[in-house]
């Protein structure tokens, strides 16, 4: 199994000006304040908007009914208990006295309304609960029912896209929400989209009161600037530090290292309907590109040893060690070249591949922390005779290109931990929100049904591994490596627990502060 090293840089907190580019470094806000410098802040506060909820959970504002523990198991969160009471039914008992940040009670009807609103407005949430029916039993109890067995439903309800929010606070919105009426240990007090977020301790939270009074979160998009903030001790927690800064941070005074698996897979998604790269419609071309990737080299060069190879999409999930043996388990440029030859893309005297006079050209878009990965892939595919036009862009441009259908290849990383059957439905289902290339594979529905409804765990695992094998055969996306995670934490902060899911790491209610 691959394991990602999570860097915990213990640095003295000093109030200095920002180093590098980007906004001024965060101020801890005093003895009871916590300051974060992060790569990205949400653009909205409405938890029914896709990709908003992971940030709200990360910063301690939002909760789901359950959560994934660091070891990959599921634990209750806003729910007091989640119990499988029949093959297709889970009974959820809510915590007594829980309230939203506004003070409204968190009862079963409010939870049901929240889940239904997310289903309607959030495409990712809809994928997760497409066939789940929620019914209120009494003020503290509701049931989640599916047509067949649902052994993973507790993991589904732990997903960050299903955060529980007060629907009444979002009713009739004609403009972006200005509040986040959630249930977490911290509540939002001020918000500048994709710039800064401030929070304060929620006095009515159902759990033990956090030691932290206030939190300031500032977006610093430049990874090198975040590294300088970490080295200078200008923030208590700094996320997604660049691999280039690892060596210096490792040798910084008082630094310690802590390992944790990254339960996600960075992959290159391929568009078989691309108007500019029609070669991607040929499965042999997609397979050739995948076999030509030297994953160990990508992990070492782009990840500075913070990650490892992912030969298959599921390989980053610690619960399925068998996935390590599936897929692109070796670097095989000879096989890659043979597949391209068979597809008619012949290597010319100029070292470039072409077919019927047209060169094999691929546009690769990367964003976020995947810039170095794209650079290494560009070089590896260039040696195969494929010309790669690489661009590093904002995620908004990636999504716009996808919506237009005018894209060839894009990097993205999806969580592999949780309800694995549903996660594969997102990746490979005909209407899956992560099926960017809109592959329509007739085998997928039956395999997902088997993975969800088989009578034994062994049968479910077999179906999951068959889905994983199909993914590597069809290659809707080329798996490369788990996303590297490197987090710096100040010496004044105690209670940091490494987690395989980045959005579980940054604000934890059990933090202690030493002045």
Summarised one tens digit per residue, pLDDT across range 120-151 is 999 889 988 988 999 999 999 999 999 888 88
Cβ pair 184, 137 in contact under 8 A = no
How many C-beta neighbours within 10 Å does residue 349 have?
5
- Residue 21 binned pLDDT confidence (cut-offs 50, 70, 90): very low
Look at 165-179, 183-197, 343-357, 419-433 and tell me which has the smallest mean pLDDT.
165-179
- The answer to whether the predicted template modeling score (pTM) of the entire model surpasses 0.75 is no
- How much is the pLDDT for 57? 95
Record the tokens describing residue 418, joined without a space. 């949780």
- In angstroms, the CA 511 to CA 13 distance is 16
Look at 10-14, 80-84, 212-216, 452-456 and tell me which has the smallest mean pLDDT.
10-14
Q: Which residues pair with 38 in a beta bridge?
A: 219
- How much is the pLDDT for 1? 36
Domains and CATH numbers, the chain: 4-39+185-258+485-513 (3.40.190.10), 66-170 (3.90.76.10), 264-481 (3.10.105.10)
Summarised one tens digit per residue, pLDDT across range 304-342 is 777 889 999 999 988 899 999 999 999 999 999 999 999
Q: What residue ranges in 63-213 does DSSP mark as E strands?
A: 66-68, 74-76, 79-86, 89-94, 133-138, 141-145, 186-192, 196-201
Cβ pair 390, 375 in contact under 8 A = yes
Mean per-residue pLDDT for 78-107? 96
List C-alpha distances in Å: 110 to 60, 80, 140, 166, 374: 20, 16, 10, 7, 44
Q: How far is CA 252 from the centre of its chain?
A: 29
What proportion of the chain, given as a percentage, has pLDDT over 90?
Answer: 68
- Residue 8 binned pLDDT confidence (cut-offs 50, 70, 90): very low
- How much is the pLDDT for 11? 30
Summarised one tens digit per residue, pLDDT across range 174-229 is 778 888 999 999 999 999 999 999 999 999 999 999 999 999 999 999 989 998 99
Mean per-residue pLDDT for 340-367? 97
- In angstroms, the CA 451 to CA 467 distance is 9
């Amino acid at each position: 199994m691959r394991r990602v090293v999570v860097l915990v840089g213990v640095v003295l907190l000093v109030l200095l000006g920002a180093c590098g580019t980007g906004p001024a470094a965060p101020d801890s806000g005093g003895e009871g304040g916590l300051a974060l410098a992060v790569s990205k802040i949400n653009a909205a506060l409405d938890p029914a908007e896709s990709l908003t909820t992971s940030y709200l959970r990360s910063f301690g504002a939002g909760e789901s009914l359950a959560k994934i523990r660091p070891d990959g198991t599921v634990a209750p969160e806003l729910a007091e208990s989640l119990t499988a009471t029949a093959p297709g039914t889970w009974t959820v008992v809510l915590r007594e006295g829980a309230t939203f940040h506004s003070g409204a009670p968190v009862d079963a009807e409010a939870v049901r309304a929240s889940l239904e609103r997310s289903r309607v407005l959030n495409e990712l949430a809809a994928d997760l609960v497409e066939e789940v029916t929620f019914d209120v039993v009494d003020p503290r109890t509701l049931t989640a029912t599916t047509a067949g067995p649902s052994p993973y439903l507790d993991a589904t309800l732990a997903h960050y896209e299903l955060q529980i929010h007060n629907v009444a606070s979002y009713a009739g919105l004609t403009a972006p929400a200005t509040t986040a009426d959630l249930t977490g240990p911290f509540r939002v007090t001020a918000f500048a989209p994709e710039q800064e977020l401030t929070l304060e301790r929620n006095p009515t939270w159902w759990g033990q009161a956090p030691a932290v009074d206030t939190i300031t979160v500032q977006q610093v998009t430049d990874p090198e600037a975040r590294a300088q903030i970490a080295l200078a001790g200008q923030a208590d927690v700094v996320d997604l530090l660049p691999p280039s800064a690892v060596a210096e941070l490792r040798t910084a005074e008082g630094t310690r290292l802590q390992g944790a698996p990254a339960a996600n897979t960075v992959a290159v998604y391929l568009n078989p309907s691309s108007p500019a790269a029609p070669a991607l419609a040929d499965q042999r071309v997609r397979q050739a590109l995948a076999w030509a990737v030297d994953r160990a080299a990508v992990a070492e060069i782009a990840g500075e040893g913070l990650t490892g190879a992912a030969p298959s999409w599921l390989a980053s999930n610690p619960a399925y060690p068998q996935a390590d043996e599936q897929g692109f388990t070796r670097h095989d440029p000879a096989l890659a070249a043979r597949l391209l030859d068979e597809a008619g893309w012949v290597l010319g005297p100029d070292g470039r591949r072409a077919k019927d006079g047209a060169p094999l050209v691929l546009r690769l878009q990367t964003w976020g922390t995947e810039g170095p990965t794209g650079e290494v892939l560009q070089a590896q595919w260039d040696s195969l005779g494929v010309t790669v036009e690489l661009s590093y862009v904002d995620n908004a441009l990636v999504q716009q290109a996808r919506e237009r259908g005018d894209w060839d290849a894009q990097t993205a990383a999806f969580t592999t931990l949780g309800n694995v059957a549903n996660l594969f439905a997102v990746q490979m289902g005909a209407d899956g929100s992560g099926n960017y290339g809109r592959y329509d594979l007739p085998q997928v529905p039956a395999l997902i049904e088997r993975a969800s409804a088989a009578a034994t765990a062994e049968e479910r695992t077999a179906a999951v591994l068959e889905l994983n094998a199909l993914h590597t055969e069809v290659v809707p996306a080329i798996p490369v490596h788990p996303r590297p995670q490197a987090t710096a934490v100040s010496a004044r902060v105690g209670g940091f627990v490494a987690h395989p899911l980045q959005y579980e790491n940054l604000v934890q209610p059990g933090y202690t502060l030493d002045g």
